[in-house]
Amino acid sequence: MSTFTIRTMRQPDDYAAVAPLLNLVWSEPTTAERLQRDEDSIPPGKLHYNEDGELMGWDRPKWVAEDEHGRVVGYAICWRAPWTEPGALSHTVVVHPENRGVGIGRALFDALHQWAAEVKATRLIDYMRETDERSLAFAQRRGYIKERHTFESVLDLASFDGGSLYDAVNNAEQTGIRFITLAEEPGEAGEKRLYELYKITHPDIPGYSGSFPWFEEWKKWTITQSGVRPEWIHIAKDGDRYIGVVTLQQNEQTRAMYHEYTGVLPEYRGRRIALALKMLGIRTAAACGVPYLRTHNDSMNAPMLRINRDLIGFRAEAGSYKMVCELK
């Protein structure tokens, strides 16, 4: 009979074992160094409650499961950011395939559910691969339901030929739209204009909830995060106004790029500006020798799915379900 122990994660010692576990469920690989860098960017947790008694603030407790030989074979993290919707906690639980079926996942879930109850959370959220039927069934037996479906798409750049799709750039320019990168307008003034563009367009993403980060936090997790460069942030301008953006992020292991964000102001939609920005992003990725581009879209985001899959030709891959458990 297999034996294991659940304990609080030791940082940074356990990251070397946790990274390979996360790579079992994440679309793009990470490293112990990347996990540590991200953690170092977050101040110690500070939870509080709003006037309605709902959980607010931020925190990130983590647990690991050790087998009888002291090897880390399971991991769980439960977190919320200051801008997360009141009462909600997100979490990730992963168990090495060779150690499933002996109660490790259940024990990790129990640990995070106990903490969630202690801090009076009202909602738990996890994202699970749509092909992981075993984990989905595990969650559903514990009261989780499928709330949203996110599609994943990949574009192989070696075989991609944009052809006439690049006409979208010229057509937009003929109407007075200019395309630049953030590298061409460095400094806080441009960053704040870009922030306002994100802030206006982000709530239009289907399934978006919560508030929007303040400028300093948005900057830390968007334009200065690992794998993002100013020359990989393409901006559409009408006069001095920022009206559209595509941001690319490169993975240090695969060298592939992720379409981290696409946004166009509501009054400029329907003019193929998003397509033009995406094509500029593809041109940048190809020039960098990137093997492929990856992106995710909510199943209800029909306009972006049409651009990515129908027009550009992103290949559909297995996506994920947003699994939600309402706590009593």
Cβ atoms of 191 and 219 within 8 Å: the answer is: yes
R_g of the chain computed on alpha carbons: 21
Using the 3D structure, point to which of 103, 121, 139 is the last residue of a domain.
Answer: 121
The total of structural domains in the chain comes to: 2
Under DSSP, the state recorded for 319 is E
In the chain, where does DSSP find H-type helix? 15-22, 32-40, 104-118, 133-141, 167-174, 188-201, 215-221, 273-287, 302-305
Same structural domain, 10 and 106: yes
pLDDT tens digits for range 255-277: 999 999 999 999 999 999 999 99
What is the CB-side half-sphere exposure of residue 5 using CA atoms within 13 A? 8
pLDDT tens digits for range 218-229: 999 999 999 999
Phi then psi for residue 213, to 5 deg, are: -60, 155
**113: in domain:** yes
Same structural domain, 108 and 164: no
Same structural domain, 116 and 11: yes
239 φ/ψ sector (left φ>0, alpha ψ -120 to 50, else beta)? left
Residue ranges in the chain whose pLDDT is less than 70: 1
Q: Provide the residue range defining the domain that includes 104.
A: 4-121
Same structural domain, 161 and 307: yes
pLDDT at 208: 86
Same structural domain, 110 and 174: no
- pTM given for the model: 0.92
Within 10 A of 48 (CB to CB), how many other CB atoms are there?
8
Same structural domain, 110 and 172: no
Same structural domain, 178 and 231: yes
CATH number, domain of 105, equals 3.40.630.30
Distance CA 7, CA 87 (A): 25
**140: in domain:** no
Cβ atoms of 234 and 284 within 8 Å: the answer is: yes
Buried-exposed string 202-228: b where 16+ CB fall within 10 A, e elsewhere: eeebeeeeeeebeeeebbeebbeeeeb
Same structural domain, 164 and 276: yes
pLDDT at 226: 92
**143: in domain:** no
Tell me the average pLDDT of the chain: 95
pLDDT at 1: 54
**131: in domain:** no
**325: in domain:** no
Under DSSP, the state recorded for 85 is P
**47: in domain:** yes
**13: in domain:** yes
**137: in domain:** no
Same structural domain, 181 and 313: yes
Same structural domain, 116 and 179: no
Distance CA 105, CA 138 (A): 9
Same structural domain, 21 and 83: yes
